[in-house]
Amino acid sequence: MTAKTSYLYAIALLLLVVNLLVGNGMTTIWDGVEAMLAWQIQHDAAGFTFHEQLAALLMGDTLDPFFLRFSGAIAVILGLTAYYIFARRMVGTEIVLNTLALAASSLLMANLGKVASSDIWAMMLQWLAYAAMIRYLKQPQLSWQLSFYALAALAIWVQPLQSLIFLLGTGAFLYFVHADGRRLLRLNPWAMGLLTAGGLYALQWLDTTGDTFYIGFRTGRFLWVNAVGILPFLGLVMGGIVEHSQRLGKRDEQAVLYMGALIFALLGHSLALQPLLAMVAARQMRNYFHKGYPHRGVVKAGAVLHLVAAACFLILFMIGSFVQFRGLGFQAGLATGGLYWVWSFVAVVGFVGARASYARLGTIMSGVLLTTFFWIQFSPLLEVQRNWAQEIIEPEGPFPKPADQFIVGRGEGAFPGVAAYAHAANSNTAVLSNAASLQQAVSAQQAGTVILVPQSWLPPQLDTMQTDTTVYKGWNAPLQPAVWVRCEVKPKLSGK
């Protein structure tokens, strides 16, 4: 490995850390899982899993989105470090560093690490448990056995169903197909997994609802986010899938190890699929420039198709950015998307011209810098549309009077982030579960109560004489139009 390559990997991993942290304190809390976790922490009712307790410890008593999300950055950094320790001697330093750099360029891993949810912890723990299983298969020692047990138990604790399908299914596949598969009898991941799940269930620590996940067992969303995540190294993934599919019938060891994990990651909707695909691409990045590599055409085709698709999307992205944000939007869209396309073009030049340094540089930096520039250039513009959830809390007028109480409408959708901001402003905050109770809530409250609800909740018969209403427009979590209303209950007029 040359000094230039080492510098590239160091820069990529440093930018990954930057990407995990940049903008976290300024980005409005996302509706749904993140908002619910913040609300639970504010009420000393955070979930029983260790990462939820860690988020509660980091955030403390003050609503701070940066520390609420900081546990995700910890998960990614610890996960990549642990994988380096697990795999360096097993597959070699070059492939391990390729894997880490490609994981850093993934459009899924870094962005998922910026959200306070269980998804990133499930991804890291399931991936590391798989790596520990493979290390034990190659080197059956007690240290790797205990490492697998610890990581698998944590993975099952965080996400039981997906972890059991992925780890137990992969273990069964390796037992029957791998040449040394019988070594897994001593490890016995099947009994360990079922006993762990049973023990957690008996302790009432097993959460099967999936309420702490943005992705979870939603097939369409799972496939979509993983497909988007590998775009910077799509050609390498395509080459790896073709190669391992062809070699699987010959019981090639690498094909058995990779394809078994990929199959059960797909079946179990395991988020370990993303780093597994980075592992597949990492080996192709090394082998592509070896003489006689048979799948150059597949890799080139994937890289070129991605480049063309990226150009088409960039045009639409810049048009949409201009329509929404005018000149600033066009500038941010060009800086973000244009930089991604240029580095992707460098990667294509490297693959077509057999220039390893260009291919490696373009592939890695395209994804890393896209994430960086999105959160630096484009995210502040998005906040113009999303920060209504904070503005709606603040009273208006020349002599604003703080609210004595907040009542927030939840509805049937995702838990609203505005509820967490309302509680931060005044701990006397309640949540309405349905629109039918709105009129009753208005009539029952005293002056000084502020009711925050979607505009669709306002019934035609609402007694507007009892409230002062202000409309706030913006975007909600899925970046769809949101219209909320702030209703301040007026003092009741006393009759003679």
- Residues paired with 408 in a beta bridge: 431, 452
Cα 446–Cα 449–Cα 453 angle in degrees, nearest 5: 130
Closest CA to 130 of 329, 264, 36: 264
CB 464 within 8 A of CB 436: no
Query: CB atoms < 10 A from the CB of 440, how many?
Result: 10
Residues in the chain: 496
Q: How far apart are CA 112 and CA 364, in angstroms?
A: 18
Closest CA to 277 of 241, 224, 309, 223: 241
Residue 332 pLDDT more than 80?
yes
Query: CB atoms < 10 A from the CB of 145, how many?
Result: 18
Give percent above pLDDT 70 in the chain: 94
Query: pLDDT for 223-273, tens place per residue?
Result: 999 999 999 999 999 999 999 999 998 999 999 999 999 999 999 999 999
Q: How far apart are CA 302 and CA 277, in angstroms?
A: 15
Q: How far apart are CA 484 and CA 409, in angstroms?
A: 10
Q: Give residue 46's pLDDT.
A: 87
Q: Give residue 126's pLDDT.
A: 98
Q: How far apart are CA 98 and CA 100, in angstroms?
A: 6
CB 145 within 8 A of CB 164: no
Q: How far apart are CA 215 and CA 53, in angstroms?
A: 21
Residue 478 phi, psi dihedral angles, 5° rounding: -80, 15
Q: Give residue 193's pLDDT.
A: 96
Q: How far apart are CA 352 and CA 360, in angstroms?
A: 13
Tokens of 105: 């360029």
Tokens of 250: 């010959």
Q: Give residue 466's pLDDT.
A: 63
Mean pLDDT in residue range 53-60: 92
Spell 460-471 as b/e; 16+ CB within 10 A means b.
eebeeebbeeee
Q: Give residue 436's pLDDT.
A: 72
Running DSSP on this structure, what letter comes out for residue 476? -
Mean pLDDT in residue range 46-72: 92
Query: CB atoms < 10 A from the CB of 54, how many?
Result: 16
Return all residues near 431 (Cβ < 8 A) that are at least 6 apart.
407, 408, 409, 410, 419
The residue extents of the domains of the chain are 3-287, 389-489
Q: Give residue 462's pLDDT.
A: 57
Residue 411 pLDDT more than 70?
no
Closest CA to 403 of 490, 488, 492, 491: 488
Tokens of 117: 């949810």
Residue 364 pLDDT more than 70?
yes
Residue 211 pLDDT more than 70?
yes
Q: Give residue 496's pLDDT.
A: 40
Q: Give residue 376's pLDDT.
A: 94
Query: CB atoms < 10 A from the CB of 130, how many?
Result: 30
Q: Give residue 272's pLDDT.
A: 97
| pLDDT grade for 300, boundaries at 50, 70 and 90 | very high
Mean pLDDT in residue range 435-462: 75
Q: How far apart are CA 229 and CA 302, in angstroms?
A: 15
Highest-confidence segment of 366-370, 392-396, 449-453: 366-370
Q: In this predicted structure, which of 49-53, 114-118, 293-297, 358-362 has the lowest mean pLDDT?
A: 49-53
Query: pLDDT for 98-130, tens place per residue?
Result: 999 999 999 999 999 999 999 999 999 999 999
Residue 202 phi, psi dihedral angles, 5° rounding: -65, -35
Give percent above pLDDT 90 in the chain: 73
Mean pLDDT in residue range 440-448: 71
Query: pLDDT for 129-178, tens place per residue?
Result: 999 999 999 999 999 999 999 999 999 999 999 999 999 999 999 999 99
Kindly report the average pLDDT of the chain as a whole number.
Answer: 91
CB 471 within 8 A of CB 452: no
Q: Give residue 460's pLDDT.
A: 61
* DSSP notation for 271-311: TTHHHHHHHHHHHHHHHTTSTT-TTHHHHHHHHHHHHHHHH
Query: pLDDT for 178-206, tens place per residue?
Result: 999 999 999 999 999 999 999 999 998 88
Q: Give residue 446's pLDDT.
A: 72
Q: Give residue 470's pLDDT.
A: 85
In this structure, is the dihedral angle defined by the CA atoms of residues 472, 475, 477 and 480, taken in order, positive or negative?
positive
Q: Give residue 449's pLDDT.
A: 86
Query: Which has more pLDDT, 103 or 466?
Result: 103
Q: What is the chain's alpha carbon radius of gyration, rounded to the nearest angstrom?
A: 25
